[in-house]
Structure 1
Amino acid sequence: MMTEDAMWRKSSRSNSSGGACVELACSGDLRGVRDSKNPTGPTLRFGQARLAAFLEEVRTGRFDG
């Protein structure tokens, strides 16, 4: 479970006008991903290796519509 004191970091690709931004945080062995516009909403949780694999899939465009 992500702890309440997890330090969330916004994507470096984020800008001041909002946009489709995500935040990442580390909590023990877990890595969290959430929508920066909805910080109290759902959080995806991954182990470090799974997050690395997920991010690689995002970079290659696997989830592009």
Structure 2
Amino acid sequence: MWRKSSKSADASQCVEVRHDLAAVRDSKNPEVVVSLERRALAQLTAFARGRR
């Protein structure tokens, strides 16, 4: 199961996060999945929010 930000509404240009928080994918190209450790995902989201 994948989820995307509630702020993205119906936009198709989103990054989706897998339910176990161990992978992300581009909603335009869902076949490509990038596996991440939870710590790396936390760092990525902090960077995206501007909280480096």
Report the TM-score when normalising by structure 2: 0.72
Counterpart of 1:48 in structure 2 is 38
1:15 and 2:9 are equivalent in the alignment: yes
Pick from 7, 11, 22 the counterpart of residue 31 of structure 1: 22
Higher strand fraction (1 or 2) = 2
CA distance in 2, matches of 1:32, 1:57: 17
Moved beyond 2 Å, runs of 4+: none
- Tell me by how many angstroms 1:13 deviates: 1.8
CA distance in 2, matches of 1:22, 1:59: 14
Report the TM-score when normalising by structure 1: 0.61
CA distance in 2, matches of 1:10, 1:54: 15
Higher helix fraction (1 or 2) = 2
Counterpart of 1:60 in structure 2 is 50
Structure 2 unaligned segments of length 5 or more: list them. Answer: none
